[in-house]
Chains A and B, each alone.
Chain A
Amino acid sequence: AQKVTQAQTEISVVEKEDVTLDCVYETRDTTYYLFWYKQPPSGELVFLIRRNSFDEQNEISGRYSWNFQKSTSSFNFTITASQVVDSAVYFCALSGYTSGTYKYIFGTGTRLKVLA
């Protein structure tokens, strides 16, 4: 079965600190995709990144970086020099075909509070 675990329910940091959000996944699929989404206080869900299971290269986009390690089934998200605008709930998600059925599931989310 597919599963996504975000063990950190809530994290508080002071502005300019670096913060890492953890995501651990379980799947039996050999081909799958991992995602991160952001949900700011306004409530909409914003896509941040997609990674397929064959691409373990880390990715950096501005202050955001992602570390994908198949060996530990983890897809962690780091924000460097955090800002108040980064305050949001962040969701990790997994998609793939399980038992011939395509599914897309989310973790329970990590609420990040960046304090000025």
Chain B
Amino acid sequence: NAGVTQTPKFQVLKTGQSMTLQCAQDMNHEYMSWYRQDPGMGLRLIHYSVGAGITDQGEVPNGYNVSRSTTEDFPLRLLSAAPSQTSVYFCASSSISSGRNYNEQFFGPGTRLTVL
């Protein structure tokens, strides 16, 4: 079990560039989400998904797109990067239906993104 994997671990972009942060989980979890972590702001929810084909916005969705074509993958797209998107990004997944770890969020190692 790899758990939740994220790539890349570090990324530097120039303003206006686009990129996709990858997230995958092998636990067959229905719920997947993306957070950004900024100093003093905690973890803020960007987008989330309760299953393949279903996504919804969190607290801070502007500037980000997501899709969920499979249960395993939940990529986060930055269409035109801005310095305000400099942050650490975490992907997470959880089972919301059943199981011993019901509702526990499993986090990826994070992606540190800098936008110049």
Binding site for B on A (CB under 8 A): 6, 9, 33, 35, 37, 43-45, 47, 50, 91, 93, 95, 101-109
User: Which positions 8-61 of chain B face chain A at CB distance < 8 Å?
Assistant: 31, 33, 35, 40-45, 48, 50, 56, 58-59
| Interface size, chain B (Cβ < 8 Å) | 27
**Listed A/B pairs (11) with beta-carbon separation below 8 Å:** A9-B40, A43-B109, A43-B110, A47-B106, A50-B102, A102-B96, A103-B45, A103-B48, A104-B94, A105-B45, A106-B45
Interfacial chain A residues near B41, Cβ < 8 Å = 108
Distance (whole angstroms) from the CB of B44 to the closest CB of chain A: 8
Find the B residue at minimum CB distance from A97: B96
Distance (whole angstroms) from the CB of B99 to the closest CB of chain A: 12
Asked if B105 contacts A47 (CB within 8 A), the reply is yes
Distance (whole angstroms) from the CB of A107 to the closest CB of chain B: 6
Find the B residue at minimum CB distance from A4: B42
Distance (whole angstroms) from the CB of B94 to the closest CB of chain A: 7
Count A-B pairs with CB separation below 8 Å: 55
Measured between alpha carbons, how far is A106 from B48 in the docked complex, in Å? 14
Measured between alpha carbons, how far is A37 from B96 in the docked complex, in Å? 18
Measured between alpha carbons, how far is A109 from B110 in the docked complex, in Å? 17
> CB < 8 Å: which of B50, B104, B110 contacts A50?
B104
Measured between alpha carbons, how far is A35 from B41 in the docked complex, in Å? 18
Interfacial chain B residues near A50, Cβ < 8 Å = 102-104
Measured between alpha carbons, how far is A79 from B47 in the docked complex, in Å? 33
Interfacial chain B residues near A9, Cβ < 8 Å = 40
With A35-B105, A47-B104, A50-B104 known to touch, is A102 a contact of B31 (CB < 8 Å)? yes
With A43-B109, A45-B107, A93-B105 known to touch, is A106 a contact of B42 (CB < 8 Å)? yes
